[in-house]
Amino acid sequence: MTQTKVKICGLKTPQDVDAVVAAGADFCGLTFVPKSKRFISVAEAAELSQLAAPDLTRVALTVDADDALLDTIMGSVGIDMIQLHGHESPERVAAVKSRYNVPVMKAVGVADAADVAEIARYTPVADWILLDAKPPKDAAVPGGNGLSFDWRLIADVTWQVPWMLAGGLTEDTVGEAIARTGAKVVDLASGVESAPGVKDAEKARRFVAAARA
């Protein structure tokens, strides 16, 4: 049986990197979204990136970023994957992938079957798909809001590219989420925090253990 992989997003401090590495996560996310409580500067991200274990995939989380910002990130931070978490079109996804020559993951907010159908627009151009809960209309950021969606919407759906499941996951719910959706990779931020934007090493360890149980 394939071991479930885990992405922990929103790292801000060296202690966060240590916690993610110690927990045995496979991916870590660095958030370049000023409105997010997990935002870090390019300089801060560069320092954290250097601390990551060699087998930890470093993901740059951006929202509707222009080429200038992406150029700065990719030129200064050791990044293995770009996560596009805004309103990027399939054409924009393809352009980013071509420009930087690293895997690109497109996040899609899910609330109903129509949102699931939207994923088909991105599978021809994205290397990965991230399924997250669609945020409330008044949300400041499109992800990391601690919300989940109805997993039954994707229970019988398959795609031609690998995908991650996000949205309000915790150590108490991740087992059911995996069982219901068949997710091979799970992603979270708030579920391993002691306060907004503050990672908890013990919660990270327990979550990874629960995901793989």
- Would you state the pLDDT for residue 144? 53
- Would you state the pLDDT for residue 148? 84
Domain boundaries, the chain: 5-212
Report the alpha-carbon distance of residue 108 to residue 119 in Å, rounded.
7
CATH topology of domain 5-212: TIM Barrel (3.20.20)
Alpha helix locations (H) across the chain?
14-23, 42-51, 67-76, 90-100, 113-118, 174-181, 201-212
Q: Name 175's Cβ contacts closer than 8 Å, sequence gap at least 6.
A: 210, 211, 213
Report the alpha-carbon distance of residue 26 to residue 164 in Å, rounded.
12
Query: What global pTM score does this model have?
Result: 0.92
Tens digit of each residue's pLDDT, the chain (213 residues): 579 999 999 999 999 999 999 999 999 999 999 999 999 999 999 999 999 999 999 999 999 999 999 999 999 999 999 999 999 999 999 999 999 999 999 999 999 999 999 999 999 999 999 999 987 665 555 545 556 899 999 988 899 999 999 998 999 999 999 999 999 999 999 999 999 899 999 999 999 999 999
- Would you state the pLDDT for residue 135? 75
